[in-house]
């Protein structure tokens, strides 16, 4: 007696013209005996199924069995041939749902009783799977979740005439669906980066996981940075590896004094970036670099030099006893002051200004003392004086840049290794004869180099006035100077960059759609110069190109190749693609039939170009027109029309004529 469970699946779409399809299934046993079973495939309405997964699930229900082999064959031990049963998770029912049919090839002659045992059957979770005792129909009774249990193994029993055969294990696989979004390991990440960090420096790594089946698209995560706050000095200061989640510095120019902290919103999406999404926040603290020397808020402070005590025989604590001090000689620059102490019997000498060892290393002061009350005129008294010798001790004073902020004007096209300026510092300690050395403390774009001994600053990398590190045409670098004792000071170099013509005109919009009927002009923008194409008076506000169809064209794609040069001869070849659709007016839109399923036109479209020039800027235009996938033909000059009124406007502003070479 042989039991077999066979799955027949539809490999491609089948049309049941009469609601059914008949075919034969052949099988051979180990003795070579052929068995044939007629099968009829019937249409079954799945009106109660509310999603595609359920429909696919029902297509895979095993419903076939094999009859017993021909009479006369030797009886063989009953065999089970059971492939794994696959069930998609999250199926919504109705339940119980038919999964498979297990049928003995002797069920026509004997009464067979079927049963199952194992997890999900008679073990927890009990009755998740059930089997009809007489028909062998296997059912599932509720929705499954692969993330809880990804497969079940149950044992199937068959009993006939009171005899039980050895059970057969059946594996029920739960098929994963994309029902879990990526989850980050932390709701917020904190990282640090030095303001001197270069491009490519690794800041932090974020990690997200997906509970769906590993090594499938459902759990294939990709990362991206959604936003950066603030967007200074540029919106893309950081970049993230889409596969690893490693965040790195993308641009140089981090400055803690301007932006001490960035906040990034990071997204993780499964299905290789196209599926469910999860988000986290990354807070990046910009740590300080020692790029500013300390500066006294008060460059001069009073310092105690000496206390001078006196005695007086008059009655204590009276004006005749209280002393009053003054410096009468030796201080022509008023570097010192003397005051009476609180006990009225001492003179306190302090500095009123900073002392300079290099100018005067010793000061000899003559100090006198009198009483608050005048001396009695009847008695001849001599004013007492004392000499105070103040010795100035030498200290290592900081170097001084002159000026503190140096401005210089240079062309952005200054060649590499050419001198920008010599920026030097002086040492107030003239007697020490120390060596002064220089270094660059902060060079945001990495353009400069400095000679350690001379302070000559040269171009290391090409400067660019259009860089994000340039503000109002000014580039700022911080220069440091230090002596043998490593005492350091700073100076600021401001380079005013002179613009040169190093950017050719470039068309920004490379693909556009136009209508073949009721022709309407199409505006193209030249980078950094945008024009309005509705009114002629607006043409003077910018620079751009307007292309219009000269007459109706066949539907299809056309290319226009233009070499655009400014009045200094700097040029660039740009190609734009025009899709001609079966529509009219300004609102150009294509239907699918406009662009697919048809042979390409064989004629050339004639485009006329109206070139609008900015005041003081002439743009010679070289225009070429080609039709994709068609034989190229030369366009004659007479087929290209230019707007006469535009030429008149050009002449009124004394600008260059337009050159059109075909």
- Helical ranges in 152-307 per DSSP H: 270-273
- Please name the CATH architecture into which domain 304-391 falls: Sandwich (2.60)
Q: What is the pLDDT of residue 47?
A: 38
DSSP assignment of 629-656 equals TS---PPPGGG----HHHHHHHHHTT-P
User: What's the CATH architecture for 3-175?
Assistant: Sandwich (2.60)
pLDDT confidence of residue 647: 31
Distance from the Cα of residue 116 to its chain's centroid: 56
In this structure, the strands spanning 323-329 and 261-269 are unpaired
pLDDT digits (tens, 9 = 90+) for 574-624: 788 888 888 876 666 776 555 444 443 333 333 433 343 333 344 444 444
DSSP type of residue 64? B
Spatial contact of 520 and 581, defined as CB atoms under 8 Å apart:
no
Tokens standing for residue 176 = 């994963």
Tokens 């009476």 sit on residue: 340
pLDDT value for 617: 40
H/E segment holding residue 100:
strand 97-101
> 400-498 falls under which CATH superfamily?
Cadherins (2.60.40.60)
Q: What sign for the dihedral angle of Cα 463, 465, 466, 471?
A: positive
Whether the upstream peptide bond of residue 447 has omega within 30° of 0, thus cis, is: no
Residue 495, burial from CB neighbour count under 10 angstroms (0-12, 13-18, 19+) = buried
Whether the Cβ atoms of residue 625 and residue 560 lie closer than 8 Å to each other: yes
Span(s) in the chain for CATH 2.60.40.60: 3-175, 183-287, 304-391, 400-498
Cis peptide before 581 (omega within 30 of 0): no
Q: Which residues of the chain are modeled with pLDDT < 50?
A: 1-3, 45-59, 63-80, 527-542, 595-662
**Statement: 183-287 belongs to CATH 1.10.645.10:** no
Closest CA to 369 of 312, 302, 314, 318: 312
Which residue shows structure tokens 């980050």? 184
């Amino acid at each position: 007696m042989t039991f077999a469970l066979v799955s027949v699946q539809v490999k491609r779409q089948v049309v049941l013209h009469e609601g059914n399809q008949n075919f034969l299934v052949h099988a051979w046993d180990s003795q070579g005996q052929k068995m044939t079973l007629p099968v009829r495939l019937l249409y079954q309405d799945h009106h109660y199924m509310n999603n595609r997964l359920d429909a696919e699930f029902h297509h895979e229900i095993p419903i076939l069995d094999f009859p017993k082999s021909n009479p006369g064959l030797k009886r063989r031990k009953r065999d089970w041939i059971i492939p794994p049963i696959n069930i998609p998770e999250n199926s919504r029912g109705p339940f119980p749902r038919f999964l498979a049919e297990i049928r003995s090839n002797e069920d026509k002659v004997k009464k067979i009783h079927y049963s199952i045992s194992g997890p999900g059957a008679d073990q927890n979770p009990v009755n998740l799977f059930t089997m009809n005792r007489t028909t062998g129909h296997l059912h599932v009774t509720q929705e499954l979740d692969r993330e809880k249990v990804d497969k079940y193994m149950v044992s199937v029993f068959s009993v006939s005439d009171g005899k039980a055969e050895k059970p057969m294990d059946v594996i029920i696989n739960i098929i994963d669906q994309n029902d879990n979004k990526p989850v980050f390991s932390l709701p917020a990440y904190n990282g640090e980066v030095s303001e001197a960090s270069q491009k490519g420096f690794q800041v932090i790594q974020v990690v997200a996981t997906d509970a769906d089946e590993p090594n499938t698209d459902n759990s294939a995560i990709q990362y991206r940075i959604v936003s950066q706050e603030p967007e200074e000095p540029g919106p893309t200061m950081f970049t993230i590896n889409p596969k690893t989640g490693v965040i790195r510095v993308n641009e140089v120019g981090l400055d803690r004094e301007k932006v001490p902290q960035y906040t990034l919103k990071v997204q993780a999406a499964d299905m290789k970036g196209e599926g469910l999404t999860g988000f986290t926040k990354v807070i990046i603290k910009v740590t300080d670099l020692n790029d500013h020397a300390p500066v006294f808020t008060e460059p001069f402070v009073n310092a105690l030099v000496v206390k001078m005590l006196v005695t007086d025989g008059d009655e204590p604590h009276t004006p005749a006893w209280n002393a009053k001090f003054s410096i009468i000689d030796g201080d022509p620059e008023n570097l010192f002051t003397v005051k009476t102490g609180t006990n009225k019997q001492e003179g306190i000498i302090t500095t009123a200004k900073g002392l300079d060892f290099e100018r005067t290393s010793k000061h000899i002061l003559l100090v006198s003392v009198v009483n608050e009350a005048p001396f009695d005129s009847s008695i001849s008294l001599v004013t007492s004086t004392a000499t105070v010798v103040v010795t100035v001790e030498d200290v290592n004073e900081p170097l001084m840049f002159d000026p503190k902020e140096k401005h210089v004007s240079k062309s952005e096209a200054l060649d590499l290794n050419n001198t920008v300026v010599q920026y030097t510092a002086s040492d107030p300690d003239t007697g020490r004869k120390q060596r002064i050395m220089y270094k660059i403390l902060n060079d945001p774009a990495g353009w400069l180099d400095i000679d350690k001994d001379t302070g000559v600053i040269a171009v290391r990398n090409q400067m660019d006035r259009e860089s994000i590190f340039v503000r109002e045409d000014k580039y700022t670098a911080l220069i440091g100077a230090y002596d043998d004792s490593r005492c350091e000071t700073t100076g600021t170099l401001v380079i005013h960059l002179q613009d040169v013509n190093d950017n050719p005109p470039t068309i920004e919009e490379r693909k556009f759609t136009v209508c073949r009927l009721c022709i309407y002009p199409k505006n193209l923008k030249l980078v950094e110069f945008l024009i309005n194409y509705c009114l002629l008076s607006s043409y003077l506000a910018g620079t751009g190109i307007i292309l219009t169809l000269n007459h109706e064209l066949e539907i299809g794609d056309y290319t226009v190749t233009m070499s655009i040069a400014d009045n200094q001869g700097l040029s660039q070849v740009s190609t734009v693609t025009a899709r001609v659709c079966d529509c009219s007016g300004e609102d150009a839109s294509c239907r699918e039939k406009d662009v697919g399923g048809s042979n390409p036109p064989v004629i050339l479209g004639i485009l006329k170009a109206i070139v609008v020039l900015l005041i003081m800027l002439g743009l010679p235009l070289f225009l070429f027109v080609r039709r994709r996938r068609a034989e190229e033909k030369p366009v004659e000059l007479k087929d290209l029309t230019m707007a006469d009124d535009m030429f008149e406007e050009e002449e009124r502003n004394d600008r260059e004529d337009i050159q059109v070479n075909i």
